[in-house]
Structure 1
Amino acid sequence: MMVTYESPSQDREAGCTGTQRVEATVELGEPLSSRRVLVNNWHVYTPVGANPPDLRPCGENGCDPTPPRCTSSSYRQAVNDTDVPQHTTWEERGCDDTWLVLDLTTRMGPVCGGPGDDCSSSGLSQRWFYRADPSGWRPVATNDHAGCAGIHKVLPEWPVRLCEALPPLDRS
C-alpha cells in the first residue's frame, strides 16, 4: 500500500515542496481480512477482489457493487455505469441472469416555470443492451429498432425471448 502525506494547508511557501518516497511497514493487530481502508477521510479501498497485497479502490457504487440481477437496485447501478445524464429514467424491457435491456429516457426541452405555463418538454429515449459481468451490468450495444433485427446485427447470440416483443422507441 502507498501512503502519501501532504501538509494540511499544502502551503508551498512554507518550504514543504519536495517529495520523497519511503517504504513504511504497518502492523495490524489482526489480518485485514475483508475490512475496508479509509484514506484521507474520502477514498475507500477493499482487499476483496484485489490481488494481495494490493487493495482495490471502491467505486461510485461502493465496495460491493450489486451483482447483476433483475432487480431495481441492479438496474439503477446499470444506469449509473452508463454514460447518460444524471436524471435519466429507465424502463426494463427484458432481463435474465446474463442479459438486460433497458429503455433510458432523458427529459429535454426548455426550463419551465411551473405547471400550466404552456411550457412543453420532450424525452430523448435510447435502448441499451447489457451483459452481466462480475462487477455489474456492462453496456454492449444500443439501438432503437423494434424486435430483434437491430440487436442481432451486433449480437447474434442475444436471446430472442428478450427482444422479440420490443416495441419501437417512443420519441415523444
Structure 2
Amino acid sequence: MDISDHPPAGEPIQLAPRTPDEPTITVPQPPGWGFMPGKDDTAIRGILFNQDLRLHGFTPNAVVTLEELTGQAGVPSQALAKERAAIIDIVGEIDTESPGTVSGFASRTIEYNLQGRSATGLIVAVQNAKDRIWAVTVTIQTTDADNPHYAAAKTSILHSLEVRLPDQ
C-alpha cells in the first residue's frame, strides 16, 4: 500500500484479514493522524501516528496488532490474561486496569508507563464458532499525555475500535 492508497484523514481504516477466519479490524483515523500499514509477516496490522504532536523526540502513535492464540488460550479470558502478562513482562507494574467489551468481545484496558511515556493498551479477545482465538491489541503512547489533541485522539481510537468476525 502506498500513500495514494491511504484513506483521507478522519475516515475509518479497515484492516483486512490475512486469512479467511481472521477478524476484520476497523480503527478510526483522527484528524492529523497518519497511517502506515503493517508488513504481511508481522502481528502489526497498522500504525497511526501524529507528527504534529511530536515532543521530546517522540511521535505519538497507536500500534494495532492481531495475534492468533488458538492452542495457547482455550477461552477469551485466557487470551486476555496471556496478553496482560506479556505487558507486565515488558513494563513491570501497571497503573490501572479495567474490563470492558469491544464489539461484544471481552476486553481489558491497561494503563502503564513505557520507557517514560504514558501508554494505554486495549486488548480484545476474539473467539469464533470454530473455537479459534485471537488477541487484537491497540497500544497508544505519547510523551505528552495532557495534550488535548492527543487525549481526544486516544479516546476516539480506543472507544471507536471495531472488531468483526467473518460470516461463518
TM-score > 0.5, shorter chain as reference: no
Greater helix fraction, Structure 1 or Structure 2: 2
Greater strand fraction, Structure 1 or Structure 2: 2
**Bigger-Rg structure (1/2):** 1
- Where relative contact order (Cα < 8 A, 6+ residues apart) is larger, the structure is 2
